[in-house]
Amino acid sequence: MTPTIAVDGTAVPQGLHPNVTVDRVRYPDIADLISRLHFSPEDGHIWLHDQRMLLLHASAMGVLRRELIESLGLDSARGLLTRIGYNSGAHDAELARRVRPTAKLTDMFVVGPQLHMLEGMVAVEPVRLEMDVERGHYYGEFLWTNSSEDEEHVRIYGIGAEAACWMQIGYASGYTSVFMGRPVLYREVECRALGDNRCRIIGKPADAWGEEADDDHRFFQAQAFTQGIFGAGRSRLGETADARSASPFKDDKVVGVSAGFNAVCHMVKRVAPTQATVLFLGESGVGKEVFAQTLHRISARANGPFIAVNCAAIPESLVEAELFGVERGAYTGANQTRPGRFERADGGTLFLDEIGILSSTAQGKLLRALQEGEIERVGGTQARHVDVRVVAATNLDLREESRAGRFREDLFYRLNVFPVTIPPLRERREDIPVLMNHFLHRFSSRHGRRVTGFTERAISAMLSYSWPGNIREMQNMIERAVILAPEDGAVDIGHIFSNTEKTKANIFGLGSSGMLASSESLDRLQTLDGEDCIRERVSRKISALLGGNCDDNDPTSLDEIETALITSAVTRAGGNLSAAARMLGITRPQLAYRLKSRGLREQ
């Protein structure tokens, strides 16, 4: 069970392990974080572990802040900066689990505050911290001093009537949301921009704030039609999400907070009021139909029908009849006149999913219908006008399919009026805890189950999983987990992953250097015969050479020394070749070549 910790020594809420208390969170040595900060002026890179960083003037951020406020307005600027901070915090939460994988929970969690200080944003002092990951309980109270964001805001605008640490609030919310596996919202209750001596923030799960934080929720929502981070987040288990009332479109299907998600939302919002044909692109399971439904719902055609057609599920011989309808007696078995999908979608939207697999004949008939706005039923002679907006989707590269002769080029250009690419889930990992919480609430309510949350081990596994099936795969896995999890208990890794899904838990073992290494990094390197002996001989050889008393009879070769250095660097970098290459002062391709030539990488 994940401990509940009160860092000021006060009583812990009833039922949350009252015996586990400490007087104060004392930050562990920051040396492990500093060692992962690398400057490479030759190629213009700064790295924090495997994440590229930027060193910017605080005054430049102040100018950016002012430009955003004056061009977009106060609320829009605040929302944008909050979401930028959320993105940064979510990435640092993933880094924290890799930097201190075997540390106790508090030492792992305070990587965020320590990185916030290391990155020059603000000095962070914990006041109170309660964490129970499995039961979804969180309460965090922190003091901020020397906030760079506040300094720039006050320098430009002076003391005002609103708190101003927008990006830092977003960072704290993103960091803790990923860490807890559910949406967590921080509010700034004291701020230097209000005239207070220092800033004070309080964080709780989004559904624990109630109405007092209603105004803060909207700054995490990039678009009006989405529920953003708080889609279904403010509901109690088994209840309809109150947060939906904040949206004029009453929607709780589209949730997310990542930059990729927000970019798609922006594109959908821009094209919705028009009549343009939209082509959704992306891997299977990323939510193309969900976005198509949202596009229809916020368009002028919302009162009309939304007709979805899975082109892959219709036999080639029946495609024409399904799309355009059939007259009675047109062929054997056509016992009655039946309208097609185009006629049924008249006045609304026709969604053509998996359009890339249509036959050449069907493609030609579809092109005519799109160009002329007219269709003819199979076996009929009358041209029928239809007022239909076509939205298509595919997981194929239609441009490449056109070059290969499998898809009509003229139809591709007719569909490609407004393409929207939805990124896969592995490229927007900030959305993972949001979706986990969303599906947990949905399926707990649907199946009448009371599941408290996710274990820390389950959260780590889901953050590291590659998600080949994207959101659809996550949805199915969490539904299964909700059914398997114990009543009033937490979802664990065994409830989520079956034998068909491959995941590696954070299991650590001793590497050849005697240091802990993850199972992933150990799997990437083959164990050399007598490696420990080789390392010991290499260490002696280097010491002897530098000390000027080398024995000519020592059999250790230069190649063995280089091999030992390479394997040590890769192990210390957790299998990350870019980070290992930086340690060795060479490029990644050079390191990859050396590993391959020594047979140290899996083929």
pLDDT of 248 reads: 29
Confidence of residue 265 (pLDDT cuts 50, 70, 90): confident
d(CA 56, CA 44): 13
pLDDT of 365 reads: 83
- Among the ranges given (37-46, 280-289, 330-339), the one the predictor scored with the smallest mean pLDDT: 330-339
pLDDT (tens digit, 9 = 90+) per residue, 500-536? 665 554 444 434 444 444 444 444 443 333 455 556 5
Residues of the chain with CATH 1.10.10: 513-597
Most confident of 310-319, 341-350, 543-552: 341-350
pLDDT of 599 reads: 66
pLDDT of 222 reads: 60
d(CA 384, CA 341): 13
CA angle 264, 246, 444 (to 5 degrees): 80
pLDDT of 134 reads: 87
CA dihedral 278, 283, 287, 291 (to 10 degrees): -10
Residue 1 half-sphere exposure, CB side, CA atoms within 13 Å?
12
Mean pLDDT over 393-414 rounds to 92
SS (H, E, C) 447-459: CCCCEEEECHHHH
d(CA 334, CA 316): 17
Place of tokens 């491959």: 502
Confidence of residue 293 (pLDDT cuts 50, 70, 90): very high
d(CA 141, CA 24): 12
pLDDT of 280 reads: 96
Whether 429 has a pLDDT exceeding 60, the answer reads yes
Phi, psi of 3 (to 5 degrees): -70, 150
d(CA 201, CA 400): 51
Domain boundaries 259-425, corresponding CATH code: 3.40.50.300
Crossing angle for the helix pair 558-572 and 531-547, to the nearest 10 degrees: 110
pLDDT of 508 reads: 42
308 Cβ partners below 8 Å, 6+ apart? 289, 292, 351, 353
pTM: 0.67
**53-61 LR contacts (CB < 8 Å, sep 24+):** 53/119, 58/120, 58/148, 58/151, 58/152, 59/152, 61/148, 61/149, 61/152
173 beta partners: none
Place of tokens 């194929």: 396
Reading the block at residue 601, the tokens are 């990488």
Phi, psi of 300 (to 5 degrees): -70, -10
Most confident of 456-460, 476-480, 570-574: 476-480
Domain boundaries 236-249+429-506, corresponding CATH code: 1.10.8.60
Tally of residues, the chain? 603
Q: Which fold has domain 31-220?
A: Muramoyl-pentapeptide Carboxypeptidase; domain 2 (3.30.1380)
Residues of the chain with CATH 3.30.1380.20: 31-220
Q: What is the DSSP letter of 378?
A: B
Residues of the chain with CATH 3.40.50.300: 259-425
CATH architecture of structural domain 513-597: Orthogonal Bundle (1.10)
pLDDT of 557 reads: 66
Beta strand pairing call for 489-491 and 451-454: parallel
Residues of the chain with CATH 1.10.8.60: 236-249+429-506
pLDDT of 526 reads: 35
pLDDT of 549 reads: 61
